[in-house]
Structure 1
Amino acid sequence: MGLTNFILTVAGVGAVVILLRGDVKQSAAVFRRNVKHIRNWLEEESSAASKAAEKAKPKELDSKIPEKGVPKEKD
């Protein structure tokens, strides 16, 4: 009886190890694929943001507002 329990335990543990090893490999492959996708998305967003920043005009100071030390000209 003890030998039978030992053999069944070893067989069960071996089966679990084999299943988990395959599962870990598959999970690692999925994780690597997801990381590649996320890295590509971040690179695309980064390049799009830099292009948008290049297209945007720098804001110019409004010349209609008189400076404090300069008197206004009267017509």
Structure 2
Amino acid sequence: MVNCAAFGCNNRSCNKKNDTGSFKGGFSHVSAIVTSESPEAERLSKKRRREWQSRLKRADLDDAATHYGACGMHFVSGE
């Protein structure tokens, strides 16, 4: 199950067929920081991660974690 990482959002994915309290739209995963490639890739991935944190209004996201996601309610297209 995925919980939305956006500040104040309680949406979560459904893991059961008749889960009534869940968000039926999609989730996008927050970019992880890439350290196993070039220094440029690491710099770019850190920049992307900071942008996600800024837009989700969450400065407390753990840089080492890879399980954060944002629900489609926070995207213009809804996906």
Which structure's relative contact order is higher, taking Cα pairs within 8 Å and 6+ residues apart?
2
Structure with the largest fraction of strand? 2
Judge same fold: TM > 0.5, yes or no. Answer: no
User: What is the TM-score of this pair, normalised by structure 1?
Assistant: 0.27
Q: Which has the higher helix share?
A: 1
Q: Which has the larger radius of gyration?
A: 1
What TM-score, normalized by structure 2, do the two folds share? 0.26
